[in-house]
C-alpha cells in the first residue's frame, strides 16, 4: 500500500492528500492548525506531502535527508507553477 500511495502521490498529489485526511491521522500529527494543510492543498501539494512524511517518519523534526526531501518538493511545486505560466504565454502568442 505505501508504494501505491507514493506512485499515486507523484501523479495525483491532491487525491493522495484527501485519502490521507480520510484514512489516517497524519494531519493532526503533522500540523497544529487547519489552515496550513488547506493552503498546502491549494497551492503546494507536493510540499505538503513531503512535510507530512518528514513529520511522521522523523519524530516531528526536519533534519537530515528530510531537509533534502523538502527542498526537492518545494522546487517540484514551483516548477509546476512556472510551467503553467509558460504555457499561458505561448498560447497568447499563437492567438
Q: What is the pLDDT of residues 31-64, one digit of tens each?
A: 888 899 899 999 999 999 999 988 888 877 788 8
Q: What are the domain boundaries of the chain?
A: 2-94
Which has more pLDDT, 78 or 84? Answer: 78
* Predicted confidence band of residue 83 (pLDDT cuts 50, 70, 90): low
pLDDT in tens, 18-31: 998 899 888 888 88
What pTM did the predictor assign? Answer: 0.78
Bigger pLDDT: 60 vs 10: 10
What was the pLDDT predicted at 84? 64
48, 23, 46: which is closest to 34 by C-alpha?
48
List CB contacts of 51: < 8 A, sequence separation 6 or more: 30, 40, 70, 73
Amino acid at each position: 500500500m505505501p508504494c501505491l500511495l507514493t506512485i499515486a502521490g507523484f501523479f495525483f498529489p491532491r487525491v493522495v492528500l484527501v485519502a490521507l485526511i480520510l484514512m489516517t491521522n497524519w494531519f493532526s500529527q503533522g500540523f497544529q492548525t487547519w489552515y496550513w494543510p488547506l493552503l498546502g492543498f491549494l497551492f503546494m501539494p507536493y510540499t505538503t506531502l513531503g512535510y507530512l512524511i518528514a513529520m511522521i517518519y522523523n519524530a516531528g523534526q526536519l533534519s537530515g535527508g528530510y531537509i533534502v526531501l523538502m527542498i526537492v518538493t518545494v522546487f517540484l511545486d514551483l516548477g509546476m507553477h512556472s510551467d503553467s505560466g509558460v504555457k499561458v504565454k505561448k498560447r497568447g502568442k499563437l492567438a
